[in-house]
Structure 1
Amino acid sequence: MKKLVYLLAFSIALVSCKEEQKDYVTFSGKITNKNSETVTISNPQFKFNKVIKVGEDGTFKDTMNVKDGFYRLFDGKEYATLYLKNGADINMTLDAKEFDETITYTGVGFEESAFLAQSSLNQEKLFGDKELMDLPELDFRSKVSSFVDDFNKRFEGASLDSTFVANQKQSIAGLEKYLTKMYNDKQYIAKNLAKGADSPKFVDYENNAGGTTSLDDLKGKYVYIDLWATWCQPCKNEIPFLKKVEEKYHNKNIEFVSISVDRQKDYETWKKMIVDKELSGVQLYAKEDKAFMDAYRVSGIPRFILLDPEGKIIDSNAPRPSNPKLVELFDSLNI
C-alpha cells in the first residue's frame, strides 16, 4: 500500500513539474553593425506590429503572443522572414553588413526560420544567374528542376511544422511556375516582338472621336502606343509628360495612341477623364479585348510601344513619356 501511494505521489510530481505550453514566443538576438536602434516584427494580415529596442551592443529580447505563421523582421534597412509559434524561444544573430549571408537561428522552434533563411539565400543565387533565362530550353528546365528537387530534399528528416511544410511546398510549386512563365515570355518576346518584327494588331477599337480604329488604319506614320486605365495611378502620372511630348511632335509624322484597357463598368469614367484632363491624341477603348495586350505579354501598365510607319516594332517596351530617353529615341529616328 505504501509503495502504491509513493508511486502515485511520484506521478503527480512529474505532472506538476512538466512545463506548460507558453502562450508567447521569446525572440532574442544580437545584431553586429546594426542599422537602427530597433527591429520590427510584423504581419499585416494578423494586424501585428511589434517594435523591439536594440541595445548599444546590438542585443535585443522580447516576448510576443502570436498566431502561428509568417512574420517579417525589419532592421531599419533590410527584411527577413520568420515563422513564429507560441512556445518557441528563438535566438537570432546576424551582421547587418552581410544581412542574408550571416543570419543564424538557434533555440526552441527555430527550424522553420532557419529553413526560410537558407531558402532566401538559394533563391537569391538562382535569380542572380544572369544566364538562366537565356539557356536552351532543356538546360533551363533541368536547372529549375534541380533547384526544386534540392528544395524538397531539405524536408527529409527535418523537424518542421506540418502547416509550414504544406505552405512551402505550395510556394516552391508557385516559384517553378513563375520561372517557367518568365522564361517562356522572354523566349516569345525575343522571337515575336523583336525590333523589326511585324506588330501584333488590334482591330476595331472604339475611337472616342467616333467610329472605330484598327492598327492598320495608322500605317504611314510612326505610332506611339500607351496602354493605360483610369484606375491606374502610375498611368495618370504620365499624362502631363505625354501632353508635353505630343505638343513637341505636333504635326510630325507620328500618331500618339492611348488605348484604355478599362473594364466596361469604368467606360463612362474613361469618357469623362478624356474631357476633364483634356486628353489629346487618338483615344481608343479596347472594349475588354485582351488579345493585343496578351500578344505583347503585358503584365503591368502603363506600357508603351513604338512602331514604325510600316507597322513593324521599334521597341515593344518603349521609354515612358517621363523618361528623357523617349525624346532621344524620337530624335534618332528623325521623327
Structure 2
Amino acid sequence: MKKLILLCIACVAFFSCKKEKPVKDYLILSGNIENFKKRNITLEGFNFTKKIKFDKKTGSFSDTVKIDRDGYYTLMLNKKPINLYLTDTVDVKLSTDYKKILKAKFKGTSADIQNYFLLKKKAWNEHIANPNKFFALEEDVFLEKIDEYKDALTELSIANNLPTEFLKSEVKNIHYEYLRNLSNYEGYYGALTGNADFKVSEDFPDPLKDFNYSSGDDYVNSYSYRKMLGVQIKKISQEKNKEGEDYYLTYLETVQTEVNDTIAKNDLLYKNAKDGITYTDNLKEFRDKFMAYSTNKNHKKEISNTYNILKTTAKGQPAPKFKDFKNYNGGNTSLDDLLGKGKYLYIDVWATWCAYCKREIPLLKKLKEEYHGKNIEFVSISVDANDDYDKWKQTIVDREMTGIQLFSGKELADLEWAQKFLIKGLPKFIIIDPDGNIVNPNAPVPSQGERLINIFDELKI
C-alpha cells in the first residue's frame, strides 16, 4: 500500500513539474508571390508598420507577426495593396502573381475574410474604376452610382458567410466609405470640372448628419472614418482660427473640445504635434497644452524631447552657427561672416528638388528688390547633396536668383545646423537679428506677403 501511495505521489509530482505549453501570442504571415522583384514587403495597420523580407530566389516570404489589436491591415507589395483582416493568433498564407493581384488565393481559417476583400476590390473596379470620372459625374448620376456601389458592397458582405463580429465592423466600414464619398463630391467635382463655385443641391444627402466625432472603434477600424474626422477637425480649426492666431494651437484646442474618445483624441493630437510643434509661434504654450490634453505616455515623452531640442532655437536664443558653406560668388561663407553689419538676416532653407521652394523664388526676388539698401540681408541656403552642386548652380542661373546663395553640400537629415531647428519641410524661413539672435524660427514665406511685411515693419526694417 505504501508503495502504491508513493507511486501516485511521484506521478502527481511528474505531471505538476511538466512545463506548461506557452500560449501562442502571434500569427505567421507567409506566402508565395510570382513575378515580384523587391527585397521587402510591408504590413501596415493602424499605427503599425512591419517590413517583411521577401526571398526573390524562392519567391516566398514568412514572418512571425505580433499585433496590438485584431483588425484591418494592408500588405503592400511595392505599390500594390492587398487588404487583410488579422487576428492575433490566426495564421494567414497567401499565394498570388504580382501581375494578377486580384487572382490571389488564401489559406487558413480566415481565408473567407481575406477572399472577401478581393471580391470587394473587383466591385470597386466594376462600379467606380476611375475616381476622376466618378467624381466628375453630374449630381443625380453620381448619387445613383454611389447608391448602387454601396448596395453591391452590402450584398457582397452578407452573401459571403463572414464571421458575425467582422460583418458588423464591415457594414460600418461600407457606410463610412459611402459618407466619405458624399463629403468629397462637392470639392472634387469643382476641381475636376473647373467649376470652382459649384455647390451641391439642397436635396444632397448630408454626410455629417448624426456623425459621431468620438468613436474609438470606428477610428481604429475604418480608414474612411479617420479621414472624415480628420478633415472635419481641420475645417473646424480653420473656422475658429482668427487672422494672426496660431493655427497649431487652435487645432489642439479643437481636438480637445470636439473629440471625447481617448484613442481618437490622442492620435489626432499626436499627429498634429509631431510637425506642429516645429511650426508653432508659441512653443512653450503648445507643449503645455499638448501635455495637458494627451494621455499617451509615449507621445508625451516624444513631444517633450522635441520641445527640449526646439527651445534652444526659440525666439531670443542665439542662432546656431553654420560654417564654411560654399558661396555662389566664390569662397566659403559662415554665419559669423554675415553678422556684425547691423543687418537682419532673412534666411531661406531650400533645395533644388523642392517645388514649393521654387514657387517662392520670384516673390523672394521681388522682396529683395523692394528692400534693397535697407538693414536686411537675404540669404538662401541649399540643402542639396554634395553631388548636386552643379544642379544648384544651374538653378540659380535659370531662375535668376539673387541675394547671398550658399550651398551646404548636405541633405536636410544630415545637416547638423538644420537639425537644430528640427526642420520638417521646405522651404523654411528664419529671421536672425544683427547680433545673431533668433527673431523668428518659423518666419512667414514671401507668399504670405502682409504677414511677413508686418514683421519687417515691427523690426523697423
Cα 1:334/1:202, change in 2 over 3 Å? same
User: Structure 1: where are the runs of 5+ without partners?
Assistant: 1-19, 28-39, 80-93, 146-175
Cα 1:226/1:181, change in 2 over 3 Å? farther
Cα 1:48/1:257, change in 2 over 3 Å? same
User: C-alpha displacement at 1:197, in angstroms?
Assistant: 1.0
SS at match of 1:96: coil
In the alignment, what sits opposite 2:427? Answer: 302
In the alignment, what sits opposite 1:259? Answer: 381
User: C-alpha displacement at 1:116, in angstroms?
Assistant: 9.3
Distance (whole Å) between structure 1 residues aligned to residue 314 and residue 305 of structure 2: 15
Instruction: Tell me whether 1:144 sits opposite 2:234 in the alignment.
Output: no
SS at match of 1:245: helix
Instruction: Tell me whether 1:182 sits opposite 2:307 in the alignment.
Output: no
SS at match of 1:210: coil
Structure 2 counterpart of 1:125, from 260, 265, 289 = 265
Distance (whole Å) between structure 2 residues aligned to residue 331 and residue 104 of structure 1: 48
Distance (whole Å) between structure 2 residues aligned to residue 215 and residue 233 of structure 1: 26
In the alignment, what sits opposite 1:198? Answer: 318
Distance (whole Å) between structure 1 residues aligned to residue 437 and residue 406 of structure 2: 20
Structure 2 counterpart of 1:101, from 201, 213, 216 = 213
SS at match of 2:209: helix
User: C-alpha displacement at 1:326, in angstroms?
Assistant: 1.0
Distance (whole Å) between structure 2 residues aligned to residue 132 and residue 327 of structure 1: 25
Distance (whole Å) between structure 2 residues aligned to residue 293 and residue 205 of structure 1: 13
In the alignment, what sits opposite 2:152? Answer: 62
SS at match of 2:460: coil
| Identical positions, percent | 36
SS at match of 2:151: strand
Cα 1:205/1:187, change in 2 over 3 Å? same
In the alignment, what sits opposite 1:281? Answer: 403
Cα 1:113/1:78, change in 2 over 3 Å? farther
User: C-alpha displacement at 1:194, in angstroms?
Assistant: 2.3
Cα 1:266/1:41, change in 2 over 3 Å? farther
Instruction: Tell me whether 1:75 sits opposite 2:181 in the alignment.
Output: yes
SS at match of 1:238: helix
In the alignment, what sits opposite 1:236? Answer: 358
In the alignment, what sits opposite 1:331? Answer: 457
1:177-209 deviations in Å (ceiling 9; x for gaps)? 6x64433223432x3122211001100100010
CA contact (8 A) 1:132 1:140 kept: no
Q: Which amino acid aligns with 1:235?
A: C
CA contact (8 A) 1:41 1:49 kept: no
Higher relative contact order (CA 8 A, sep 6+): 1
User: C-alpha displacement at 1:101, in angstroms?
Assistant: 3.2
User: C-alpha displacement at 1:41, in angstroms?
Assistant: 6.3
SS at match of 2:435: coil
Cα 1:234/1:41, change in 2 over 3 Å? farther
User: C-alpha displacement at 1:49, in angstroms?
Assistant: 7.0
Aligned length: 245
Higher mean Cα deviation, 317-326 or 224-233? Answer: 317-326
Instruction: Tell me whether 1:113 sits opposite 2:203 in the alignment.
Output: no
Distance (whole Å) between structure 1 residues aligned to residue 219 and residue 305 of structure 2: 35
CA contact (8 A) 1:100 1:117 kept: no
User: C-alpha displacement at 1:76, in angstroms?
Assistant: 3.5
CA contact (8 A) 1:103 1:117 kept: no
Q: Which amino acid aligns with 1:77?
A: S
CA contact (8 A) 2:219 2:225 kept: no
Distance (whole Å) between structure 1 residues aligned to residue 436 and residue 363 of structure 2: 25
Q: TM-score, normalised by structure 1?
A: 0.60
CA contact (8 A) 1:196 1:312 kept: yes
User: Structure 2: where are the runs of 5+ without partners?
Assistant: 1-110, 135-140, 158-172, 186-205, 230-260, 274-284
Distance (whole Å) between structure 1 residues aligned to residue 184 and residue 262 of structure 2: 17
Q: Which has more helix, going by share of residues?
A: 2
Distance (whole Å) between structure 1 residues aligned to residue 146 and residue 214 of structure 2: 17
Q: Which amino acid aligns with 1:216?
A: D
Q: Which amino acid aligns with 2:335?
A: L
Distance (whole Å) between structure 2 residues aligned to residue 115 and residue 305 of structure 1: 37
Instruction: Tell me whether 1:268 sits opposite 2:390 in the alignment.
Output: yes
Q: TM-score, normalised by structure 2?
A: 0.45
Distance (whole Å) between structure 2 residues aligned to residue 282 and residue 122 of structure 1: 49
User: C-alpha displacement at 1:308, in angstroms?
Assistant: 0.4
Distance (whole Å) between structure 1 residues aligned to residue 220 and residue 437 of structure 2: 52
Q: Which amino acid aligns with 2:444?
A: P
CA contact (8 A) 1:208 1:285 kept: yes
